[in-house]
Structure 1
């Protein structure tokens, strides 16, 4: 019977590959530091104007040489810290920061600040997407309300409501709600609960809205202002509508 300790499984093989990959990266980083030291040494010896030509002898571009030279002052601990970054992000980080002139503590802080900034950016983008989705739903709701208003305006008017209709012609039309007759003596309980739930939803959504606007201000101030104005128009519309409801000029139609 085969010894379980030596049994070859996909999990064991994956662990071995990951270990070899990690060791290889460490060797490459250590090698990059050593190469950087030698490039720095060679640059001090090569005559002025011949640096680019000399680099051809080691098959390095000036950009690559500069990146490797900047690593020459790094310690092995600093190299291991950079090992945690993906290769393409590592090169960008080295180009944007004076890694060679940093202490290990400052490098750790710079990496933490980078991670925090990326997290905030991702969160802001996610909230912006949610904000756009919410505005799309709001726009759809307003469109439906406008359709109801247009439909209500085209219906025949009772003689006793002629004056009210004349007045409403000069005012923004409010949505008309078609309600069924309520025979349940406890119906008020249901509607109070509905009002409470809606108010909580509005409050929660408003908090999400202001949070999204705050984060959007850091990502794109112009887009933030555009969305703030859109939200403000909607809020003004809602505030004007709820001032007196139901609207006296258009009594609610009750269908029995």
Structure 2
């Protein structure tokens, strides 16, 4: 009775063919690397300007084919030592010619990492192409996240700068942010009807100057216009930063929006009556 393990079946024959095919492809890669090694050597010996002619006449290779073979040698040559008996087994030596070509698109260190993380030798051409595509997408997503983090940081800086600019240009009472909680509550509610904005920024001192110069009104009108333009520009920068932050971090956007809203409401309430009726300004003569 024959041993079933040695029975010649279509499945057994198919497995043998597959194994021989893979071995042939590995041999093809090793051969391609060796050809690339010799092409590099020949190129260094051929006269300048005669390389393409030499390829066509001597080995019947196109320039693109020669470049590809030399690139295979440059990238994988170290894994295929040219000295007989020298052992230098590396994962690359288990690749097929097609797999090696597909992996040429990866830098050396990234290629080694990819080989360590994936069973490349067991992949078909389509599977390897998909794995490389997935890797590129993951890398792109990682880079996009880093860019979003940078944009988030920049957006926060923009909002803080815009709020600071609004505070400096606003016409809040003198030293409103430096008053104690009790004093601040009584003076602010009495004059503006709202609590003072919490901030460490020192506000400008409001002084009343008496001038004889007949052009003084025009000068102060111009200054008012300039301040309004500055506030308008700062407000535009603020809303732009808030819009960008909205798509990056909604919670942070809302936090900064409330801070800005509180500041703007305080400014709006304060400017309703100016100068403040219950807080006389200092007169400089």
Q: TM-score, normalised by structure 1?
A: 0.48
Q: TM-score, normalised by structure 2?
A: 0.44
Compare the two structures and name the one with the higher helix fraction: 1
Computing the radius of gyration over CA atoms, which structure comes out larger, 1 or 2?
Answer: 2
